[in-house]
Amino acid sequence: MDSILDLKGRVALVTGAGQGVGRQVALQLAANNAGGIVVNDFHLDRAQAVAEEICRVGGKALPIACDVTDFRAVTSMVESAEGKFGRVDILVNNAGNAGPSDGLSNIKPFWETGPEEWANWLGTNLYGVLNCTRASINGMLKRNQGRIITVISDAGRVGEPHLAVYSGAKAGAAGFMRGLAKAVGRNNITANCVALAGINTPGVAALMPDEDTMKKILRAYLIRRLGEPSDAANMILFLASDAASWITGQTYPVNGGYSVSV
């Protein structure tokens, strides 16, 4: 019996896929019969490493280094993807934080920051989503089919006091996806978000200096652990599959109970 999560040879572009959640998403989609995975990362060596992992298990992959805040570079990436695989059916906007340097090591209150610092958060988390979606969507419209999944943060749902601009950027990406869902639903294109809380990735691990700090953080989670990249990837696979063909314009929290807001 065929799995309802079988991607039936569809081609996926996953941004920020060189490590963490993006890497796991790329591997999960490949394992569920994606016809090809475009592995994007700011760092080519990381993209190549993940592409090699996919190829070793029989999948097809194309590694591409690209800064998602650069619209011309993003357009070139999608053209390369279409040249290699013929199309992009699934877009996973995963690249986030403050770009290649995550910006979390020296967080200041909003009132001590200015436009230069805001640009880092807005660039990757909002403009990156706009760029990748704009570059990919014409092909989806022509084929009358597509899946667009944007990874946001629970900060975009409930706000984080130390990450006000980041919260705004993620909320903006979610609002864009809701508007887009209404614009392209008639074309059999779905647009949804996955809102993550703390995930056990290299970037998050660097913020946990000791076990006591970890215990304090985990008190905010109903399920007393950080999420794993696979927790996020499982939801993204679902939204990319035919199992979610009648779901659009929604935001799904994958957060271990960090927040239970509607």
Q: What is the residue whose two structure tokens read 């944007």?
A: 150
Q: Tokens for 120?
A: 């880092």
SS3 204: helix
Q: What is the residue whose two structure tokens read 């993940």?
A: 50
| CA–CA distance, 124 with 172 (Å, rounded to integer) | 12
Q: What is the residue whose two structure tokens read 């309802």?
A: 4
| CA–CA distance, 21 with 236 (Å, rounded to integer) | 10
Which backbone phi and psi does 180 adopt, to 5 degrees? -65, -40
**Cβ neighbours of residue 35 closer than 8 Å, sequence gap 6 or more:** 7, 9, 10, 11, 60, 85
| CA–CA distance, 153 with 161 (Å, rounded to integer) | 14
For residue 201, count other CB atoms closer than 10 A to its CB: 21
Active site residues: 166
Q: Tokens for 240?
A: 């990319």
